[in-house]
Amino acid sequence: MIVNAAHAIAETMDEGTEPKGTITLTTRKAGKAAEVRIADTGAGIPEAIRHRVFDPFFTTKGVGKGTGQGLAIARTVIVEKHGGSIDIEPNPGGGTVFVIRLPLVATNPAAPDACASAKEAA
């Protein structure tokens, strides 16, 4: 996701342009979840295609510059594997904000408890 943010910034920058773009990471506890926000000052994601950015093989990059797998994989790991969520918000300063929420307590009772497994191994 950081690489995507850097690419989005690079697309908006002319060589030698000052100031450079910015990627901002913030974290906080949001109820029963940990929230991670990744904000960039790139071109932003047009509202018309936001619903497709997590689709496998969807890319806005030119041929040979992207596979369209990065955000699809991120969504699979965050949502399907960890029971979290990932959303997109416009960045008021320009660019995009990805908001990731991960539960602080396991939501899948069938998933092994990593902490319990570590304690048993000790």
**3-class secondary structure for 4-67?**
HHHHHHHHHCCCCCCCCCCEEEEEEEECCEEEEEEEECCCCCCHHHHHHCCCCCCCCCCCCCCC
Is the pLDDT at 14 greater than 80? The verdict is no
pTM of this structure: 0.74
Q: Domain of 30: which CATH number?
A: 3.30.565.10
Report which of residues 109 and 44 the model is more confident about.
Answer: 44
- CA of 121: how far to CAs of 19, 106, 111, 115, in Å? 51, 20, 17, 10
Averaged pLDDT score across all residues of the chain: 79
DSSP state of 83: S
Domain assignment of residue 83, given as a range: 2-121
* Domain count across the chain: 1
Report which of residues 106 and 50 the model is more confident about.
Answer: 50
pLDDT above 90 as % of the chain: 34
State the number of CA atoms in the 13 A half-sphere of 35 facing the CB: 12
58-113 confidence digits (pLDDT tens): 676 655 566 667 888 899 999 999 999 999 987 777 889 999 999 998 765 555 55
* pLDDT for 118: 44
Q: What is the mean pLDDT of residues 21-47?
A: 91
Q: What is the mean pLDDT of residues 11-21?
A: 69
- CA of 8: how far to CAs of 40, 60, 61, in Å? 8, 10, 10
